Structure 1
Amino acid sequence: MFSAPLVLLGLLALPGLYFLLRLTPPAARRVRFPPLALLRGLAAVERTPARMPLWLLALRLLIAALVIVGLAGPQLHPPPALPGSGPVLLVIDNGWASASDWAARRDAALQVVAGAGQAGRGVSVLATTRDASNAAPRVQGVMPAVQAAQMLAAMVPEPWPVDRAGAAQALHGPTGDVVYVADGITDGPGFAAFMAALHPSRILSDGVVARLLAAPHLLANGDVAVRLAAGVSSGRVLAQTAAGDVLASAAFADGEAHLALPVAVRNKLARLVLTAPASAGGTLLLDSTARGGMVGLLASAGNAEAPFLGSLYYVRRAVPVGSAIITGDVTALLAAKVNVIIAADVPFNDTQIQMLQGFVRNGGVLIRFAGPLTADAPDTLTPDVLLAGERRLGGALTWSAPQNLAPFAPASPFAGLPPDTGVSVSRQILADPTQLNPATVWASLHDGTPLVLGRSLGAGYLVSVLTSANTEWSDLALSGLYPAMLGRLVQLAQGAPPKPDAPLPLMQALDGFGGLATATRAAHVTAQALPELMVSPEHPPGLYGSGAAMLALNVGGHVPRVVAAALPGAVAFDGTAAPVPFGSWLLAAALVMLAVDLMISLLLRGLLRLRGAVAVVLLLLATAGHADAQDAALGTTLGYVLTGDAATDQITADGMSYLSALVSAHTSAQLGAPVGLTPGVDDISLYPMIYWPILPGTVTPSAAACAAFVSYMQHGGLLVIDTPGGDAGTPGSGAGFAPGAADAVQRDTACLNLPQLQPLTTANVLAHCFYIVSNFPGRFVGAPVLIANEAARDADGVSPVIVAQNDWAGAWARDNAGNPEQTPLPGGDDQRILADRFGTNLVIYALTGSYKADQSSLPALLNQLSAP
Structure 2
Amino acid sequence: MFMLGPLGFTAPLVLLGLIALPVLWLLLRAVPPAPIRRRFPGVALLLGLRDEEAEADKTPLWLLLLRAAAIGAAILAFAGPVLNPQPVEPASDLPLLVLMDGTWADAADWPRRVERAQVLVEAAGRAGRTVALARLSDRPELPLFQSADAVAARLAGMQPHPFGPVDLAGWAALLQQAGAVETVWYSDGLDWPGRAVLQATLLDAGRLRVFEAPRPLLALRPVRFQDGAVQIVALRLPAAGEQAVEVSARGLDPSGIDRELARATLTFASGATEAETALELPPELRNRLTRFEISGTRSAGAVTLTDDSLKRRKVALIGGGADAEGLLLLSPTHYLRQALQPVADLLEGGLKDVLQANPDVIVLTDVARMTQAESDGLATWAAKGGLLLRFAGPKLAASDIGRGAADPLLPVRLREGGRSLGGAMSWGDPKALAPFGKDSPFFGLPIPPEVTVKAQVLAEPDPDLAARTIAALADGTPLVTRKPIGQGQVVLFHVTANADWSSLPLSGLFVQMMERLAVSTRPGQPEAGDLAGRIFAPERVLDAYGALQDPGSLPGVAGEDLAQAQPGPALLPGLYADEDRRVALNVIRPDTALSPAVWRAGVRQDWQEALQERALKGVFLAGALLLLLADVLAALRVSGRLSGSLAARLCVALLALGLAPEARAQDDGFAIAATTEVRLAHVLSGDRKLDDLADAGLRGIGARLFERTTIEPAEPMAVDIERDELAFFPFLYWPISADAPLPSVAAYQKLNLYLRSGGMILFDTRDAGMVGGTSLEAKRLQLIASGLDIPPIAPIAPDHVLTRTFYLLQDFPGRHDGPIWVEAPPPDAVQAEGMPFRSLNDGVTPVVIGGNDWAAAWAMDDRGIPLYPVGRGSAGERQREISYRFGINLIMHVLTGNYKSDQVHVPALLERLGQ
Q: Give your verdict on TM over 0.5.
A: yes
CA deviations over 1:475-529 (Å, ceiling 9, x no partner): 86676655543332138999xx998436667798766566777778886631133
Conservation of the 8 A alpha-carbon contact between 1:239 and 1:269: yes
Structure 2 equivalent of residue 749 of structure 1: none
Residue 605 (structure 1) aligns with? 639
TM-score (normalizing by structure 1)? 0.66
Deviation at 1:604, TM superposition (A): 0.9
Q: What is the rounded CA distance, in whole Å, between the counterparts of 1:546 and 1:434 in structure 2?
A: 28
**1:161 is matched with which residue: 159, 164, 167?**
164
Q: CA offset at residue 167 of structure 1?
A: 1.7
Contact kept? 1:84, 1:177, Cα under 8 Å:
no
Q: Answer yes or no: is the 8 Å Cα contact 1:263–1:293 preserved in 2.
A: yes
- Distance in 2, matches of 1:183 and 1:785, equals 43
The one-character-per-residue Cα deviations of 1:792-827 (angstroms, maximum 9, x if unpaired) are: 995347799xxxxxx993335326994699865453
Task: Identify the residue that residue 102 of structure 1 maps to in structure 2.
Answer: 110
Gaps of 5+ in 2: 238-242, 267-274, 523-528, 660-686, 712-728, 737-741, 764-768, 822-826, 832-836, 841-847, 861-865
Equivalent in the alignment of 2:70: 63
SS at match of 2:115: helix
- Matched with 1:366 is 388
* 2-structure distance, mates of 1:666, 1:475: 74
Q: Distance in 1 between matches of 2:553 and 2:456?
A: 50
Amino acid at match of 1:164: L
Matches within 5 A, 1:328-343: 333=355, 340-343=361-364
Cα distance in 1 between the residues matched to 2:23 and 2:395? 119
SS at match of 2:412: coil
Aligned residues of 1:113 and 1:148 also touching (Cα < 8 A): yes
Q: In the alignment, which residue of structure 2 is the partner of 1:22?
A: 26
Matching residue's letter, 1:487: E
Question: Equivalent residues in 2 for 1:176-191 (5 A)?
Answer: 177-188=182-193, 190-191=194-195
What per-residue deviation string (whole Å, max 9, x for no partner) do you get for residues 378-412 of structure 1? 24121222345567899997799998877655442
Q: Does 1:834 align with 2:862?
A: no
**Structure 2 partner of 1:78:** 85
For residue 108 of structure 1, what is the amino acid of its counterpart?
Answer: R
Give how far 1:108 is off.
2.9
The one-letter code sitting in structure 2 at the alignment partner of 1:795 is: V
In structure 2, distance between residues paired with 1:598 and 1:305: 113
Q: Secondary structure at the match of 1:462?
A: strand
Whole-Å separation in 2 of the counterparts to 1:553 and 1:310:
38
Shift of 1:103: 2.5
Q: Match for residue 674 of structure 2? A: none
90-99 or 353-362, which moves further after superposition?
A: 353-362
- Code of the residue aligned with 1:182 in structure 2: it is S
- What is the Cα deviation at residue 535 of structure 1? 3.2
**Per-residue displacement from partner, 1:577-636 (whole Å, max 9, x unpaired)?**
33233333333443443344333223212233333445566788999xxxxxxxxxxxxx
How far apart are 1:28 and its partner, in Å?
A: 0.9
Segments of structure 1 that go 5 or more residues without pairing to the other structure are: 624-645, 722-759, 787-791, 801-806
Partner residue of 2:795 out of 715, 720, 739:
720
Query: What is the alpha-carbon distance in structure 2 between the residues aligned to residue 784 and residue 154 of structure 1?
Result: 40
Whole-Å Cα distance in 2 between the matches of residues 513 and 843 of structure 1? Answer: 34
The equivalent residue for 2:682 is none
Which residue of 1 is the match for residue 482 of structure 2?
454
1:814 aligns with 2:855: yes
Percent of residue pairs identical: 28
Cα deviation, 1:84-119, whole Å, max 9, x if unaligned, reads: 53304424133424344333223333333334344x
Tell me by how many angstroms 1:530 deviates: 1.6
1:839-867 CA distance string (max 9 Å, x none): 99899999989979979999xx99xx99x
Aligned length: 766
Corresponding position of 1:726: none
Amino acid at match of 1:50: D
Equivalence for 1:730:
none
Q: Is the 8 A contact 2:698 2:858 kept in 1?
A: no
Q: Secondary structure at the match of 2:491?
A: strand
Q: How does 1:207-222 map to 2 (within 5 A)?
A: 207-208=214-215, 211-217=218-224
Counterpart of 1:795 (choices 823, 830, 834) is: 830
**SS of residue paired to 1:814:** helix
Please tell me the residue identity of whatever aligns with 2:169: A
Q: Which residue matches 1:34?
A: 40
Question: Is the CA contact (8 Å cut-off) linking 1:123 and 1:148 kept in structure 2?
Answer: no
SS in 1 for 2:852: helix
Q: Could you tell me how far apart the structure 1 residues matched to 2:539 and 2:429 are?
A: 50
The one-letter code sitting in structure 2 at the alignment partner of 1:161 is G
Amino acid at match of 1:366: L
On the 8 A contact 1:378/1:388 being kept in 2, the answer is no
Residue 740 of structure 1 corresponds to which residue in structure 2? none
Q: CA deviation at 1:178?
A: 3.3
Residue range with higher mean Cα deviation, 762-771 or 365-374: 762-771
Aligned letter for 2:564? E
2:609 alignment partner, SS class: helix
- Supply the distance in 2 between the matched residues of 1:718 and 1:842 (Cα, whole angstroms): 17
**Is the 1:219–1:322 contact (alpha carbons within 8 Å) kept by the matching residues of 2?**
no
Corresponding position of 2:121: 113
SS of corresponding position for 1:171: helix
Match of 2:152 among 140, 149, 152: 149
Structure 1 residue 184: Cα displacement: 1.7
Matches within 5 A, 1:34-53: 34-36=40-42, 39-40=45-46, 44-53=51-60
Matched, 1:253 2:276: no
User: Residue 571 and residue 385 in structure 1: after superposition, are their counterparts in 2 closer, same or farther (change >3 A)?
Assistant: same
Shift of 1:30: 0.6
Residue 526 of structure 1 corresponds to which residue in structure 2? 558
One-letter amino acid of the counterpart of residue 720, structure 1:
P
- In the alignment, the residues of structure 1 paired with residue 277 and residue 629 of structure 2 have an alpha-carbon distance, to the nearest angstrom, of 62
> Closer, same or farther in 2 for the Cα pair 1:484/1:228, shift >3 Å?
farther
Partner SS state of residue 378, structure 1: coil
After TM superposition, give the deviation of residue 463 of structure 1 in Å. 0.7
Q: 1:92 aligns with which of 70, 94, 99?
A: 99
* Distance 1:617-1:563 versus aligned 2 partners, 3 A rule: same
SS at match of 2:518: helix
Equivalent residues in 2 for 1:224-235, closer than 5 Å: 228=234, 234=245
Q: CA deviation at 1:452?
A: 2.6
- Contact 1:7/1:71 (8 A) holds in 2: yes
CA contact (8 A) 1:237 1:257 kept: no
Instruction: Judge conservation of contact 2:221–2:590 (CA < 8 Å) in 1.
Output: no
Pair 818,454 (structure 1): closer, same or farther in 2 beyond 3 Å: closer
User: CA separation in 1, counterparts of 2:396 and 2:376?
Assistant: 17
Secondary structure of the corresponding residue to residue 641 of structure 2: coil
Quickly say closer, same or farther: Cα 1:224–1:821, change in 2 above 3 A.
Answer: farther
Describe the shift of the 1:463–1:257 C-alpha distance in structure 2 as closer, same or farther (beyond 3 A).
Answer: same
Change (3 A) 1:434 1:125: closer
Measure, in 2, the Cα distance between the counterparts of 1:509 and 1:89.
35
Q: Give the alignment of 1:462-861 within 5 angstroms.
A: 462-467=490-495, 482-490=510-518, 500-501=532-533, 525-541=557-573, 553-557=585-589, 562-567=594-599, 571-572=605-606, 574-614=608-648, 673=732, 694-695=771-772, 719-720=794-795, 771-773=807-809, 795-796=830-831, 809-814=850-855, 818=859, 825=871, 827-834=875-882
CA change 1:214–1:56 in 2 (3 A) is same
Structure-1 separation of matches of 2:225 and 2:593: 23
The match for 1:416 is 444
CA shift in 2, pair 1:69/1:821, >3 Å: farther
Q: Deviations over 1:722-760 (max 9, x none)?
A: xxxxxxxxxxxxxxxxxxxxxxxxxxxxxxxxxxxxxx9
Cα 1:784–1:324 change in 2 (3 A) is farther
Matched AA of 1:13: G
CA distance in 1, matches of 2:377, 2:395: 20
Answering whether residue 410 of structure 2 is matched by residue 382 of structure 1, we say yes
Equivalent residue of 1:485, what SS? helix
- Secondary structure of 2:517's aligned partner: helix
2-structure distance, mates of 1:305, 1:598: 113
Say whether residues 1:440 and 2:468 are aligned partners. yes
Letter in 2 for 1:814: A
The answer as to whether partners of 1:113 and 1:123 remain within 8 angstroms in 2 is: no
Partner deviation per Cα, 1:281-340 (whole Å, 9 max, x = no partner): 456677x7468497563748799999997959955972896889899857995996x765
